[in-house]
Structure 1
Amino acid sequence: MRAIWSGAITFGLVNVPVKLYSATEDHDVKLHQVHDRDGGRIRYQRRCEVCGKVVDYEHIDKAFDDGERTVVLTDEDFDALPAEKSREIDVVEFVPTEQIDPIRFDRSYYLEPASKSTKAYTLLRRTLEETNRTAIVHFALRQKTRLGALRVHDDVLVLQALLWDDEVREASFPSLDERVSISAKELEMSEELIRSFESDFEPERFSDNYQDQLRKLIEAKLDSGEAIDTETTLGEKPEGEDGGEVLDLMDALRRSIDKSRAAGGQEKKKGGRPPRAAKPRDTAASG
């Protein structure tokens, strides 16, 4: 694993140097889109809706739209904001672990001791275990201030990003306000059913069946020769990648009409009848 951040856990006068690693990874098979007729790669362009041109990243700004007005934010605007670059995981308080609802959990990160002496790291880990407490912390990652929970996983300190309070939606459903009568016998039978399914959670027993079957399907197609050379799916490179130019339908129509008119002019000079320019709808239909 490669560390994505380094800094220190701080509370009071205690300073614990650490390195931060992503604790999870996406295992989904990466797929892209192709044309069903010839397998050609489908690409998306950053096209301006006003001038119709393809825009390079260097000329793209961000904007906020309130439904009626749009505010454009430039790189200079963002540079003027107080970017958060703190290298500290600042402990705000220690709370009982059971008080943190799992719905608030976001991304998880492993913390590795970053100093030669691991005593401070081990002491903090042991203290959290013995007191059954979780540290609520502030930390900065990718220039954003974040809320986090510092807890223990096996023998490792884990920093779990938490959603801000206003990011958790309220569960308000009128159907739950309905009065329902549950008899003692129904509750007893429900509890008995749950006991019949009781077990210890062993995550290694579970796997993503869909992704497993998808990998087998891909391997079977490769083994049977049901594949095409990747180079043949790429076609011409989009504008900016190799100097090539990708035309949209309107560009193609205009060029076809201009070419047809030019050919008609040449024909007039020769005394022949000029060919009729194709109508845009005819060109689109033939394409």
Structure 2
Amino acid sequence: MRAIWSGAVTFGLVNVPVKLYSATESHDVALHQVHDRDGGRIRYQRVCEIDGEVVPFANIDKAYEEGGRTVVLTEDDFASLPSEKSREIEVVEFVPSEQVDPLMFEKSYYLQPDSKSAKAYALLRETLEKTERTAIVQFSLRQKSRLGALRVRDDVLVLQGLLWEDEVRTADFAVDSGVRVTAKELEMSMALVKSYESDFDPGRFTDEYQEELRTLVEAKLEQGDAIDTDATFGRAADADDGGGEVLDLMEALRRSVEKSRGASKRRGAS
């Protein structure tokens, strides 16, 4: 991994120099656009509306427009902002971890201690673990002032970007709270939940769409456009998925519970 930022976590008078690494990466198949007629690669160019010339990225500034007036902001303008100059991840408070709504989570980063800060890093890590709290922090990264949550994962400090409060939308539709759920329906639903109970292991799950897409790409590389997709994915031509059958809620719950219990018994026998 390559560090994308370096600075320090600060809380009180304690200073913890750290390096920042992206904690996640995409596993999606990389695709680009082509012309459907001849397969030619589609390229995008930055063209100036005034002179029609292609503009190099180095000659592009950002601008803000309001009421017919435009303000151009250069790289020097952005660099002059006080928050952009800051190299601190400032702890502003420690909160109960359950109070941080997962809806607010953005990108995650690993924090590596600087070679001279191992003890301060360990102190902050163990403090978070012992108090069972999450540190709410503020920092600047890539020309944005950000809010974050600092926690521990596998003995490593993890910084998770948080959305600002005004970036989280409120559901603006009504949910009918007057719908009556019967005791029997609730009992069956809870039985279904119990039949699916497990400890979460993310390693048990795979991105089926990306796997199928890779299979499709490899098949087309080998066989060209005349591939039999049903054969490629092992689908029977006359497979019946049972679609179209309408079940009432109780019947759907009953069948679901029976199906889940049957699957559990088969797993136990294997």
The normalised TM-score by structure 2 is: 0.75
| Matched residue type, 2:88 | E
Q: Which residue of 2 aligns with 1:33?
A: 33
Q: Distance in 1 between matches of 2:158 and 2:128?
A: 11
Q: Describe how 1:132-171 pairs up with structure 2 within 5 A.
A: 132-171=132-171
Matched positions, count: 224
SS of 1:33's equivalent in the other structure is coil
The change in CA–CA distance for 1:151 and 1:32 in structure 2 (over 3 A counts) is: same
1:88 Cα offset (Å): 1.4
CA RMSD between the two structures: 2.2
SS of 2:188's equivalent in the other structure is helix
For structure 2, the residue ranges without an aligned partner over 5 or more in a row are: 226-270
Determine whether 1:125 maps to 2:125. Answer: yes
The change in CA–CA distance for 1:98 and 1:178 in structure 2 (over 3 A counts) is: closer
Determine whether 1:184 maps to 2:183. Answer: yes
Q: Distance in 1 between matches of 2:83 and 2:128?
A: 31
SS of 1:84's equivalent in the other structure is helix
| Matched residue type, 1:193 | L
Determine whether 1:23 maps to 2:23. Answer: yes
Q: Which residue of 1 aligns with 2:201?
A: 202
For structure 1, the residue ranges without an aligned partner over 5 or more in a row are: 227-287
2:17, 2:117 within 8 Å by CA — same for their partners in 1?
Answer: no
1:33, 1:41 within 8 Å by CA — same for their partners in 2?
Answer: yes
Q: Which residue of 2 aligns with 1:285?
A: none
Residues 46-75 of structure 1 show CA distances to partners (whole Å, capped at 9, x for unaligned) of 234454443343443433345x62524241
Q: Distance in 1 between matches of 2:138 and 2:216?
A: 45
1:35 Cα offset (Å): 1.5
The change in CA–CA distance for 1:70 and 1:31 in structure 2 (over 3 A counts) is: farther
SS of 1:44's equivalent in the other structure is coil
Q: Describe how 1:239-254 pairs up with structure 2 within 5 A.
A: none
SS of 2:17's equivalent in the other structure is strand
Q: Which residue of 2 aligns with 1:100?
A: 100
2:83, 2:140 within 8 Å by CA — same for their partners in 1?
Answer: no
Q: Which residue of 2 aligns with 1:257?
A: none
2:125, 2:157 within 8 Å by CA — same for their partners in 1?
Answer: yes
Q: Which residue of 2 aligns with 1:87?
A: 87
Residues 230-276 of structure 1 show CA distances to partners (whole Å, capped at 9, x for unaligned) of xxxxxxxxxxxxxxxxxxxxxxxxxxxxxxxxxxxxxxxxxxxxxxx
1:167 Cα offset (Å): 0.5
Residues 14-58 of structure 1 show CA distances to partners (whole Å, capped at 9, x for unaligned) of 111211100001111111111222211112222344544433434
1:180 Cα offset (Å): 1.4
Q: Distance in 2 between matches of 1:79 and 1:65?
A: 20
Report sequence identity in percent: 69
Q: Which residue of 2 aligns with 1:110?
A: 110
1:63, 1:70 within 8 Å by CA — same for their partners in 2?
Answer: no
